[in-house]
Amino acid sequence: MNRTPTEPAPLGPPRLGLVLGGGGLKGFAHIGALQALAERGLAPRVLAGSSIGALIGAAFVGKLPIETMRARALALRRKELFRINHVGMLLERMQSRSIYLEEPLRALIADIVPDATFHQLGTPLLINTVDLLRGTPLVWGSPGFTHAHVRDAVYASCALPGFFPPGDVGGRICVDGGTVDNLPATIVRDAQPFGAVDRIIAVDVGNADLATAGMGGRAHLLDAADTGPMSQLGFAATFMRAASVMMHALQRGQLARYHGPPLLVVRPRVSHVPWFSFADTPELIGAGYAAMSAALDHAGPFWHATSGLFPRERVSVTVQRNLCTGCGQCVAIAPHALQRDAEGRAIPLHPDVEWTPADGDLARYCPTGALHVVPVGPFDTRSAPVSDAA
């Protein structure tokens, strides 16, 4: 990842792109984030979404008032979204298309998403999916793919494999785009037919803060009632935990390779909330509002840069030597911060280092808990060297 010093930005209002990531019902945090943006008069000229980010993004582009979104989210109940496919699972068994029926999700989408094709929308909307037969990402709303119905694309982007049946979008069989890119910032960066953007804000509610799953914890669970050791969890919870780990790793790599206009990654504190909890909606909306408000209140370097990932902060990295085994995993992930000593064990390169969203929760990757990363303040390019790569 290239780390570029802050430079003066072009004058004039920002041409803003907005990305809403996937994360199950944690995505209700997007409603609060949209409210914080609206209060500051920041309107995206291009919006992209994956999974629930596609659902809320499509509702927003369709001019559904934020207060209506909030009320609809607060009123949503499990039976409106999740109805088990009893017949399919009983009669078709391994040939059953999904655990849940698609009709409730389709009805929810029809309730808040406009009945329109992409080229009929006022604000360009990009929806991330995966073409299941071709095995490739497919972005609906991009050039050549504006003929499809928005509702079909939103359904497919929400169709987590195994949980909901795949969706037919314009003759393509598609599933949840989060399986390859849960925070599709690059599709906004490359959305040149809609006019270049010079700033991108991405709201990550899914996998950046991947909490450790412990005995009786909530972070890895589908429902607050699912408690107990990981080894005793059912298929659905085990699948979701594995999918979260996969998406987390993919996202870290994608952010590490990011280049383009300044990208501000906003991460609401939602890791402790289950993916499909209906009891935490007020907290989720509030977390999205608080995170976006705080990010914008301290976004000076983002508005005055020409490239790079934000926010940036200064952290202290230490290694507890008696616990370090020399496996080298941390050095491979963050060579700008750590190196091996003569005995092969990890040591920090500098007392304090620059940290960006691409670095994420590096300490979690240490299998013995020897690595400690502690924030010590904002990163100031005027008083500290900038690493060439990460």
E strands, the chain, are 16-20, 46-50, 125-131, 136-140, 167-169, 172-176, 199-203, 263-266, 309-310, 313-319, 338-340, 346-348, 352-355, 371-378
**The pTM is what?**
0.84
Rounded CA-CA distance 123/125 in Å is 6
Q: Which of these, 320, 373, 329, 330, lies nearest to 351 by C-alpha position?
A: 373
The answer to whether the peptide bond before residue 367 is cis (omega within 30 degrees of 0) is no
- Nearby residues of 239 by Cβ (< 8 Å), 6 or more positions away: 162
| HEC per residue, 171-187 | CEEEEEHHHCCCCCHHH
How does pLDDT run along the chain (390 residues), one tens digit per residue?
333 434 444 445 688 999 999 989 999 999 999 999 999 999 999 999 999 999 999 999 999 999 999 999 999 998 888 777 555 555 555 565 667 788 999 999 999 999 999 999 999 999 999 999 999 999 999 999 999 999 999 999 999 888 889 999 999 999 998 888 999 999 998 876 556 789 999 999 976 555 554 433 343 334 433 444 444 566 667 766 777 777 777 777 788 888 889 999 999 999 888 888 899 999 999 999 999 999 999 999 999 999 999 998 888 899 999 999 999 888 888 888 899 999 999 999 988 888 888 877 777 778 899 999 888 876 654 333 333 333
Rounded CA-CA distance 301/127 in Å is 29
Q: How many CB atoms lie within 10 A of CB 379?
A: 22
E strands, 21-148, are 46-50, 125-131, 136-140
| HEC per residue, 224-273 | CCCCCCHHHCCHHHHHHHHHHHHHHHHHHHHHHCCCCCCEEEECCCCCCC
Q: Which of these, 183, 177, 181, 249, lies nearest to 210 by C-alpha position?
A: 249
Rounded CA-CA distance 119/148 in Å is 9
